[in-house]
Copies of this chain bind each other. A is one copy, B any other.
Amino acid sequence: MLVTSAPGSPSDGRARLTDVAALAGVSVGTASKALNGGGRMRPETRQRVMDAVEELGFRPNQHAQSLHSGRSWTVGLMTTDGIGRFSIPVLLGAEDALGAGKISVLLCDTRGDSIREQHHLRNLMDRRVDGIIVAGRRTDPRPPLPGVESVPVVYALSPSTDPSDTSVVTDDRGGVRLAIDHLVSTGRTRIAHVTGPEHHAAARERARYAVEELADSSLEPSTRRIHFGEWSEAWGRRAADAVLRTAPDTDAFFCGNDQIARGVADALRERGVAVPADVAVVGYDNWDTMALASRPPLTTVDTNLAEIGRIAALELLRAIDAGPGPGVHTVPCRLVVRESS
């Protein structure tokens, strides 16, 4: 039976619920109940409706369905400080976990603007989203979204400051341990640490963990201090020169990100220092553009950002089904070894 030629079918060729009911020989009300899984009916009746749905290629209007089920099958994905290099993989991981099913993702980019955030939040609540993922750019904690008590929320990358919220973050301590263990186990003992601005949690905490991990091997930073600066290649180049002036016997650089590491590698090459023969360089983030274009390509810590997004989505689905599961989930890093170490 071709629906497009059936009398009474709508002009766009889509089968309607009345067509399904007629073919199944039931009332429209019964067909609706069968589709929404509600109400009592004989299994044969439900099966007849489902067979008719199949035969007609009927696809229910999701807005009407939402009114029945009380669920919108949509999730808000809110990026709070611009969609950039860090939030994109998180966003993709979440979209991958959600979009494969029947859940759709409403994208909101608030760009760190509280007016935009309120506007988007009101819109998401109006649309009765089943839950919200808030994806940050930095690892610094952020205040919880206001006025979202009625829906589950999961914070990805930037954790909520409220411990009763659910957050999914990167395991900075584990990532630093992988880098330092790798350098120490390959015979490096004079290790310098060059990183970003001290007011960023990612710089501050990785530096603290680096000092602690070195201490576990009875070592200290080759320059006896942390080189805080910028997340840039130019800073990496300047810092490399400063480190070699202070501690010429430095045999490795552990850097807070891949841009700094690339700058360090360039400065070393231009001074005639061989990487990795004389000095090893390890970066952080595994940003492929930087890590692969570096000469030599960088050994670096991969923070598994897509996995952070995926786990945030799974935590959200769990919370939608079973209620909130407060706490901070950390996602392990992995070390990618290339020619620089």
Count of chain copies: 2
Q: Is A83 an interface residue (CB 8 A)?
A: yes
A233 touches which of B62, B119, B128, B293 (Cβ 8 Å)? B293
User: A232-273 CB contact bits vs B (8 Å, 1 = yes)?
Assistant: 111000000000000000000000000100000000000000
Stretch at the interface among A100-108, A189-197, A202-210, A218-226: A100-108
User: A172-207 CB contact bits vs B (8 Å, 1 = yes)?
Assistant: 000000000000000000000000000000000000
| Bound: A124/B103 CA distance, A | 11
Least distance between A62 CB and chain B CB atoms (Å): 5
A61 CB contacts on chain B under 8 angstroms? 67, 126, 128
Q: Is A137 an interface residue (CB 8 A)?
A: no
Task: Establish whether residues A232 and B293, one from each chain, have CB atoms under 8 Å apart when the complex forms.
Answer: yes
A interface, how many residues as a size bin? 35 or more
User: A94-126 CB contact bits vs B (8 Å, 1 = yes)?
Assistant: 011001101011111100000000011011111
Task: Establish whether residues A77 and B107, one from each chain, have CB atoms under 8 Å apart when the complex forms.
Answer: yes
| Bound: A137/B302 CA distance, A | 25
| Bound: A199/B91 CA distance, A | 31
Q: Is A63 an interface residue (CB 8 A)?
A: yes
Task: Establish whether residues A105 and B102, one from each chain, have CB atoms under 8 Å apart when the complex forms.
Answer: no
Least distance between A84 CB and chain B CB atoms (Å): 8
| Bound: A15/B259 CA distance, A | 52
| Bound: A289/B232 CA distance, A | 9
Q: Is A12 an interface residue (CB 8 A)?
A: yes
Q: Is A5 an interface residue (CB 8 A)?
A: no
Using known A-B contacts A67-B67, A83-B88, determine if residue A59 contacts B125 with beta carbons closer than 8 Å.
Answer: yes
A99 CB contacts on chain B under 8 angstroms? 108-109, 119-120, 123
Additional 9 contacts, C-beta under 8 A, given A61-B128, A62-B128, A102-B123: A74-B106, A91-B107, A95-B107, A96-B109, A100-B119, A104-B124, A106-B106, A232-B293, A289-B289
Cβ contacts A to B, 6 pairs, < 8 Å: A64-B67, A95-B109, A96-B109, A104-B124, A107-B107, A259-B293
